[in-house]
């Protein structure tokens, strides 16, 4: 096998090139174009190629851009923390306490949400969480409520959880299930308490998988516009809503591109830092 | 182990609650799709097929279904082919710039869809390729390649590294070995990748919404109803789409199960 | 490689066959009909509006929906010329469509100008240029205070001030478009007929008034969200809308209403234009004629997505004959106190327009700032 490791035969290139060409042309191409676009001018609702920094200065000098930026960062961060904490006990249960068969079934059920439309699920939440919705109707039986849940950050969070939770449980369960069980038992035998075992043995061993799950949650919630729009009432709007608003009204694509680039940079920094941390060798 | 019963039960109940949370919206939309109230609450209204009839007597929904199926199948095929080649390359070769190669292959899911949609629309319109069905196929393929690659790469991991060299030693060319060894071995993952990517494409709305022009896909129609004349047709369409895609997965599963035995013993 | 493709193709065929089996009616007779691409507000391409015309003429409308004039211009600018055969635009944006060369000239003799219910409508601003017709007004409606009758009294709703009522803190919604909402603030500031023509000081005041409403605001919504919010009681008052949304809910039995307050109301006006470069100008013309016929006007007045006023005498008559209840609800009866035409004549209604001394961009920027505040 190693003999063929680095050859540039026609055969090798035939397998290497399709991905490079396709993703280069239709993934890197658009991203580079977007960077160029951020320097364009808009006249009469049409973009004109230009090289001016007006879009950058105008967008970045606005207070509300930064408000929205930090709000989005905060919401996505919160979603990561909540999702990770909420998913963890369930993942532990699925990884350690059930049979292989039951685990396989659980994973199967966790995959099902990916086959339902996210929009449809959000619409269902709208109905469930409404002032006269299912939950408040349930509360009224006990004489409490109604509570306002829609058009609040709570609503947004429910949406983010809907998006992230199944994936987080799957990824966490996989990484926990891969832990060498003997290490956990050894800790037990040495008199380590249950909670202590979890935090000193299990979590460090599953670190990579846990962080990867968290990174996915961050990326998904940072970029999602559906939850903050339909469950959060865009109050205030997150960056992804700002992108849509900016491109929708007044054809300000270049400024939307500025917001987009800021988002990508942020996400890359967060993701790379986290991944770097995840794969750092433990001393 | 000295498991005390309480913890065990607490964990069990907790996990059940998580599953309830995940499935609540799915089940709710099923229930609402048969409920006569336009804005359902407790107690529910009466049983009705009305939303199904309304939704599926609308020709727009059917043409959207056609577009969606076409897009999902095409991008699944393209993405699986490209993903296979990338996975195989990663599995077998080491070359200058391989790290960059992998980053390029796995990066797309990390870009928020709204951003990718914005960029793709601008890029494709330079070539006059925006607002067409093919624009959606192109964009969805980009999004699906990493998933296909990941699935197939996992399977390649399980392949005995001596299998291919053994075939060469027996006189097979590289292409022949690919055909008679690698492809049969990875077939289950290829089918799985096809299903997964088709499902990803079938449910994607942000990019499709931006680049589709007048060629709406099913999720775009759903988004349009959500922003427009909001009504339970959404639930009806969603439920049917769900049933269809789950059936496809089950069919695929059966197909894979039927074939899995042979390649496994190669 | 070959094998790989073969396998994929076979699987694809199987999957495709399964899909086709599941949907036996995928390809139906619609495929043969002439397709007309329509750019419009939500609902204009739905069966209740175009169904009868489609059946009679073997055509099929393919609608693309937008919300707000800026949104419409953006959509049209990013599509190749000739994409849209017919464009339903807000009247105040017709001028911009024309300047950008996106619409065809129309022949005034083709349309029932003699039958217009009000003289202004015959020469609607921006629809004519150098004596040539570019757009045909088809319907209109009024924007005012839209409120939930359980939270706001009729007396309170007579002024935009009711949005600031402490009891509905967090329950005032905005239709997510700057023009109608900021227009209402301008009216509240006493700008009256000059609501769109405000100088720097006046614009500063509008911003101030708007910002003071921010603590009351519960969300910014598109059409569906506005509708949902009012219906399920999340929002008790909604700025920037009118009967076009509450009317639908009212007919559905919800306790919501829209009135034109003392500061004055705003009229939205929708007009059809023929897209530049379309090959289907003849059938599009026929459709516009149909929409302006008494039958079409009655259909348009009762549009399922959102109601509007009939703008021809024939249309009003047809509405009174086919649905007197709706005619009465909306005051479309000669002599009704809330007859839309009477309201216009009394000077209480102002046509929606674009800002005169600021650019749309200024308004839009402020709107984003407001949302983020």
> Which CATH number covers residue B217?
1.10.3720.10
The answer to whether position B176 is within a domain reads yes
Of B164, B174, B242, the CB nearest to A115: B242
Of C220, C221, C233, the CB nearest to A132: C233
Reading the block at residue A147, the tokens are 């509570």
Categorise residue A261: left if φ over 0, alpha if ψ from -120 to 50, beta otherwise: alpha
Which of helix, strand or coil describes residue C312? Answer: strand
The answer to whether position B66 is within a domain reads yes
Distance from CA of C54 to the nearest CA of A (A): 30
Q: What is the pLDDT of residue C313?
A: 96
From residue B229, alpha-carbon distances to B167, B219, C227, C271 in Å are 62, 15, 8, 21
Q: What is the C-alpha to C-alpha distance for residues C156 and C151, in angstroms, rounded to an integer?
A: 10
3-state secondary structure A47-93: EECCCCCHHHHHHHCCHHHHHHHHHHHHHHHHHHHHHHHHHHHHHHH
* Residues C47, C49, C53, C59, Cα dihedral to 10°: -50
What count of residues does chain A have?
283
**What residues of chain C have any CB closer than 8 angstroms to a CB in chain A?**
1, 68, 70-71, 73-74, 77-78, 96, 99-100, 170, 173, 176-178, 217-221, 225, 228-229, 232-234, 360-361, 364, 367-369, 371-373
Burial class for C325, CB neighbours closer than 10 Å (0-12, 13-18, 19+): exposed
The answer to whether position B75 is within a domain reads yes
- In eight-state DSSP terms, residue A174 is H
Annotated domain spans of chain A: 1-37, 53-279
Chain B residues whose beta carbon lies within 8 Å of the beta carbon of residue C278: none
Give the total number of structural domains in chain B: 1
Q: In CATH terms, is domain A53-279 a member of 1.10.10.60?
A: no
Q: Does A86 touch chain B (CB under 8 A)?
A: yes
Q: What is the C-alpha to C-alpha distance for residues C280 and C37, in angstroms, rounded to an integer?
A: 10
Residues of chain C below pLDDT 70: 1-32
Which of helix, strand or coil describes residue C239? Answer: strand
Reading the block at residue B78, the tokens are 């393209």
Residues of chain B below pLDDT 70: 1-3, 42, 229, 252-266
The answer to whether position B242 is within a domain reads yes
Q: Is the dihedral of CA B173, B178, B184, B185 positive or negative?
A: positive
3-state secondary structure B177-218: HHHHHHHHHHHHHHHHHHHHHHHHHHHCCHHHHHHCCCCCCH
ipTM for the complex shown: 0.90
Distance from CA of C122 to the nearest CA of B (A): 31
Of C5, C30, C225, the CB nearest to B59: C30
- Given the DSSP bridges, would you call strands C86-90 and C145-148 parallel, antiparallel or unpaired? unpaired
Contact between C4 and B183 using a beta-carbon 8 Å cutoff? yes
Distance from CA of C13 to the nearest CA of A (A): 21
Chain B residues whose beta carbon lies within 8 Å of the beta carbon of residue A37: 119, 122
The answer to whether position B50 is within a domain reads no
Residue range A228-249: mean pLDDT, rounded? 88
Categorise residue B134: left if φ over 0, alpha if ψ from -120 to 50, beta otherwise: alpha
Residue range A169-190: mean pLDDT, rounded? 88
| Phi, psi for A5 (deg, rounded to 5) | -55, -50
Q: What is the C-alpha to C-alpha distance for residues B46 and B33, in angstroms, rounded to an integer?
A: 11
Q: Is the dihedral of CA A187, A193, A196, A197 positive or negative?
A: positive
Judge contact between B234 and B220, C-beta under 8 A: no
List the one residue out of B217, B156, B157, B162 whose CA is nearest residue B182: B156
Reading the block at residue B180, the tokens are 């008679």
From residue A235, alpha-carbon distances to A13, A242, C170, C176 in Å are 51, 12, 11, 11
The answer to whether position B147 is within a domain reads yes
Question: Looking at chain B, which residue has its C-alpha nearest residue A97?
Answer: B8
Chain pair A-B, CB pairs under 8 angstroms: 251
Distance from CA of C314 to the nearest CA of A (A): 37
Q: Does A24 touch chain B (CB under 8 A)?
A: yes
**Hey, how many other C-beta atoms are within 10 angstroms of the C-beta on B183?**
20
Burial class for C120, CB neighbours closer than 10 Å (0-12, 13-18, 19+): middle
Specify which residues B95 forms β-bridges with. none
Which of helix, strand or coil describes residue C238? Answer: strand
C6, C8, C43, C61: best to mutate for the B interface, most B CBs within 10 A: C8
Q: How confident is the model at residue A140 (pLDDT cuts 50, 70, 90)?
A: confident
Which of helix, strand or coil describes residue C213? Answer: helix
Judge contact between C319 and C326, C-beta under 8 A: yes
From residue C257, alpha-carbon distances to A54, C158, C183 in Å are 45, 12, 20
Contact between A19 and B101 using a beta-carbon 8 Å cutoff? yes
Integer Rg of chain B from CA: 23
What count of residues does chain C have?
373
Q: What is the C-alpha to C-alpha distance for residues C46 and C320, in angstroms, rounded to an integer?
A: 23
Judge contact between A172 and B21, C-beta under 8 A: no
Judge contact between A259 and A246, C-beta under 8 A: yes
Q: What is the C-alpha to C-alpha distance for residues B205 and A190, in angstroms, rounded to an integer?
A: 53
Q: Which helix (H) or strand (E) holds C35?
A: strand C34-41
Judge contact between C287 and C86, C-beta under 8 A: yes
Judge contact between B44 and B37, C-beta under 8 A: yes
Contact between C18 and B187 using a beta-carbon 8 Å cutoff? no
List the one residue out of C265, C236, C271 whose CA is nearest residue C331: C265
The answer to whether position B31 is within a domain reads no
Burial class for A241, CB neighbours closer than 10 Å (0-12, 13-18, 19+): buried
Chain A residues whose beta carbon lies within 8 Å of the beta carbon of residue B21: 161, 165
Contact between C1 and A67 using a beta-carbon 8 Å cutoff? no
> Which domains does chain C show, CATH number per domain?
31-140+267-333 (3.40.190.10), 145-263+351-372 (3.40.190.10)
The answer to whether position B38 is within a domain reads no
Q: What is the pLDDT of residue A16?
A: 93
Q: Tokens 């961060």 label which residue?
A: A77
Q: What is the pLDDT of residue B244?
A: 79
| Phi, psi for C269 (deg, rounded to 5) | -135, 130
Interface of A with C in 222-251 (CB under 8 A): 229-230, 232-237, 242, 245-251
* Residues C196, C198, C204, C207, Cα dihedral to 10°: -10
Distance from CA of C243 to the nearest CA of B (A): 15
Contact between A117 and B203 using a beta-carbon 8 Å cutoff? yes
Reading the block at residue B26, the tokens are 């799915």
**A47-79 pLDDT, tens per residue?**
788 999 999 999 999 889 999 999 999 999 999
pTM of the entire predicted model: 0.88
Distance of CA C361 to the CA centre of its chain: 21
Q: What is the pLDDT of residue C21?
A: 42
């Amino acid at each position: 096998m190693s003999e063929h490791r680095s050859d540039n035969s026609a055969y090798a290139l035939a397998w290497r090139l399709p991905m490079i060409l396709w993703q280069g042309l239709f993934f890197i191409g658009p991203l580079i174009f977007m960077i160029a676009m951020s320097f364009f001018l808009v006249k009469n609702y049409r973009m004109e190629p230009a090289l001016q920094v007006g879009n950058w200065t105008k967008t970045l000098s606005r207070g509300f851009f930064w408000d929205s930026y930090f709000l989005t960062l905060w919401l996505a961060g919160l979603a990561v923390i909540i999702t990770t904490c909420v998913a963890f006990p369930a993942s532990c249960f699925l990884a350690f306490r059930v049979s292989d068969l039951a685990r396989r079934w659980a994973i199967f059920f966790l995959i099902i949400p990916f086959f339902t439309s996210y929009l449809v699920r959000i619409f269902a939440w709208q109905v469930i969480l409404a002032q006269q919705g299912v939950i408040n109707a349930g509360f009224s039986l006990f004489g409490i409520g109604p509570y306002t849940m829609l058009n609040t950050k709570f609503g947004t969070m429910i949406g983010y959880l809907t998006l992230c939770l199944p994936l987080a449980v799957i990824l966490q369960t996989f990484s926990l299930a891969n832990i060498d069980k003997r290490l956990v038992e050894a800790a037990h035998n040495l008199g380590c308490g249950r909670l202590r075992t979890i935090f000193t043995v299990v979590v460090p061993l599953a670190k990579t998988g846990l962080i990867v799950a968290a990174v996915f949650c961050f990326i998904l919630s940072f970029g999602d516009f559906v939850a903050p729009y339909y469950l959060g009432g865009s109050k205030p709007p997150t960056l992804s809503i700002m992108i849509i608003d900016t491109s929708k009204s007044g054809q300000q694509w270049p400024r939307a591109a500025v917001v987009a680039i800021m988002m990508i940079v942020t996400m890359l920094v967060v993701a790379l830092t986290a991944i770097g941390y995840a794969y750092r060798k433990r001393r | 182990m000295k498991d005390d019963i309480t913890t065990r039960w607490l964990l069990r109940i907790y996990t059940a609650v998580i599953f309830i949370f995940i499935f609540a919206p799915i089940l709710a939309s099923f229930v609402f799709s048969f409920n006569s109230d336009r804005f359902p609450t407790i107690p529910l209204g009466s049983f009705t097929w009305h939303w199904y009839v309304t939704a599926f007597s609308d020709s727009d929904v059917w043409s959207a279904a056609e577009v969606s199926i076409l897009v999902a199948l095409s991008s699944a095929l393209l993405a699986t082919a490209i993903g296979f080649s990338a996975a195989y390359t990663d599995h077998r070769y080491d070359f200058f710039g391989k790290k960059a190669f992998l980053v390029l292959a796995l990066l797309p899911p990390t870009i928020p869809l709204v951003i990718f949609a914005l960029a793709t629309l601008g890029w494709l319109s330079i070539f006059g390729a925006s607002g067409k069905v093919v624009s959606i196929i192109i964009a969805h393929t980009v999004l699906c390649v990493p998933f296909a690659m990941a699935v197939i790469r996992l399977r390649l991991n399980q392949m005995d590294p001596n299998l291919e060299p053994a075939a060469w030693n027996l006189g097979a060319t590289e292409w022949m070995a690919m055909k008679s060894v690698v492809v049969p071995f990875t077939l289950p993952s290829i089918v799985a990748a096809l299903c997964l990517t088709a499902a990803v494409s079938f449910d994607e709305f942000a990019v499709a919404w931006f680049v589709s022009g007048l060629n709406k896909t099913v999720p775009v129609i759903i988004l349009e109803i959500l922003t427009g004349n909001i009504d339970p047709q959404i639930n009806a369409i969603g439920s049917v789409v769900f049933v269809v895609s789950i059936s496809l997965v089950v069919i695929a599963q059966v197909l894979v199960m039927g074939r899995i035995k042979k390649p496994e013993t190669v | 490689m070959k094998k790989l493709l073969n396998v994929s193709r076979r699987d694809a065929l199987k999957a495709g066959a399964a899909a086709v089996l599941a949907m036996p009616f995928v390809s139906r007779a619609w495929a043969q009909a002439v397709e007309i691409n329509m750019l419009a507000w939500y609902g204009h391409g739905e069966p209740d509006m175009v169904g009868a015309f489609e059946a009679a003429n073997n055509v099929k409308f393919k609608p693309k929906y937008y919300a707000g004039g800026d949104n419409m211009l953006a959509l049209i600018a990013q599509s190749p010329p000739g994409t849209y055969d017919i464009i339903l635009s807000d009247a105040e944006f017709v001028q911009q469509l024309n300047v950008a060369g996106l619409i065809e000239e129309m022949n005034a003799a083709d349309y029932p100008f003699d039958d217009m219910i009000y003289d202004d409508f015959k020469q609607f601003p921006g629809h004519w240029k150098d004596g040539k017709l570019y757009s045909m007004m088809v319907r209109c409606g009024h924007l005012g205070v839209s409120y939930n009758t359980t939270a706001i009294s009729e007396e309170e709703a007579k002024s935009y001030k009711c949005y600031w009522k402490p009891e509905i803190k967090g329950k005032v919604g905005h239709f997510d478009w700057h023009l109608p909402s900021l227009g209402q603030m301008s009216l509240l500031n006493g700008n009256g007929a000059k609501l769109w023509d405000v100088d720097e000081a006046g614009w500063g005041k509008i911003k101030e008034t708007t910002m003071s409403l921010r603590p009351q605001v519960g969300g910014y919504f598109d059409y569906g969200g506005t509708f949902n919010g009012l219906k399920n009681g999340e929002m008790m008052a909604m700025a920037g809308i009118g009967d076009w949304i509450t009317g639908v809910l009212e007919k559905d039995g919800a306790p919501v209403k829209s009135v034109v307050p003392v500061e004055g109301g705003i009229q939205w006006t929708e007009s059809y234009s023929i897209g530049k470069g379309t090959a289907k100008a003849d059938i599009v013309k026929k459709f516009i004629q149909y929409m302006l016929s008494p039958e079409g006007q009655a259909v348009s007045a009762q549009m399922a997505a959102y109601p509007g006023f009939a703008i021809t005498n024939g249309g009003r008559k047809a509405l009174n004959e086919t649905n007197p209840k709706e005619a009465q609800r909306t005051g479309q009866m000669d002599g009704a106190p809330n007859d839309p035409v009477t309201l216009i004549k009394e000077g209480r209604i102002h046509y929606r327009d674009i800002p005169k001394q600021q650019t749309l961009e200024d308004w839009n920027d402020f709107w984003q700032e407001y949302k983020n505040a």
